Amino acid sequence: EPEVTQTPSHQVTQMGQEVILRCVPISNHLYFYWYRQILGQKVEFLVSFYNNEISEKSEIFDDQFSVERPDGSNFTLKIRSTKLEDSAMYFCASGSNGKNTGELFFGEGSRLTVL
């Protein structure tokens, strides 16, 4: 069964450092998403991406965040200068359609720890 894969599974970084989280969505999917989940809290929407551009972003997704689909297979989330509060599990998701009927497939997540 096709799946969304994410790397790294866990990254530890110092505050102020740049971090790139990588995702390989399911190959024929066109819609891509990043969500995050701070420990013990709910899953929060960050950004959605379609046709090589951001289609929507939340208030969390400020100028420190960026997304890219550099080579047609990877979908990356970059945090330019990490803060302690960026420590969370980051989930990538993809979908074959952007309609309200479509299901999203989530990866296993990348745990980011900012020290």
Partner 1 sequence: DAKTTQPNSMESNEEEPVHLPCNHSTISGTDYIHWYRQLPSQGPEYVIHGLTSNVNNRMASLAIAEDRKSSTLILHRATLRDAAVYYCILRSLTEGAGNQFYFGTGTSLTVIP
> What is d(CA 104, CA 98) in angstroms, rounded to the nearest whole number?
9
Pick the binder of partner 1 from 65, 107, 112, 114 (CB under 8 A): 107
d(CA 29, CA 27): 6
Indicate the residue among 20 and 89 with the shorter CB distance to partner 1.
89
Q: Which amino acid is at 97?
A: N
Q: Which of 17, 108, 113, 115 binds partner 1 (CB under 8 A)?
A: 108
55 binds partner 1, rule: CB under 8 A: yes
Q: Is 109 a binder of partner 1 (CB under 8 A)?
A: yes
Footprint of partner 1 on 17-36 (CB under 8 A):
31, 33, 35
Structure tokens at 77: 């989330």
Per DSSP, the three-state class of 58 is: coil
Among 42, 63, 72, 84, interactor with partner 1 by CB under 8 A: 42
Length of the chain: 115
Phi then psi dihedrals of residue 87, to 5 deg = -60, 120
Query: How many residues sit in the footprint of partner 1 (CB under 8 A)?
Result: 27
> Least distance in Å: CB of 51 to partner 1?
7
Cα(95)–Cα(91) distance, integer angstroms: 13
Question: Could you list the residues that contact partner 1 (CB under 8 A)?
Answer: 4, 31, 33, 35, 42-45, 48, 50-51, 55-56, 91, 93, 98-109
